[in-house]
Amino acid sequence: MAKKNRAARRYFVWGRVQGVGYRAFVVHAAYAAGIRGWARNLDDGRVEVYAIGDPDQLSDFEGRLRQGPRLSDVRGVDTLEDTIDSAVRDFGVRG
């Protein structure tokens, strides 16, 4: 079977996304979508998410990021194309 086209994206999610279980939600969403990468809180109140997957997986995952968990209030998601970090093997929470 041919290997799917892989891409990497970095998302900066803002709104009420810290202290509401957002990163745990992102971990579950990543596993459901087959995404590798990580999520971390930023000092300015945003959550940064790095994700590797094929375009369909990343599109599905971004939709989940925009929804967020029940207690969150996602106001926006800024998306940037990124380079693939081959050292990333699964999905986790950083710092």
Active site residues: 23, 41
Residue linked to tokens 């799917």: 4
Burial letters 68-94, b for 16+ CB under 10 A, else e:
bbeebebeebeeeeeeeeeeeeebeee
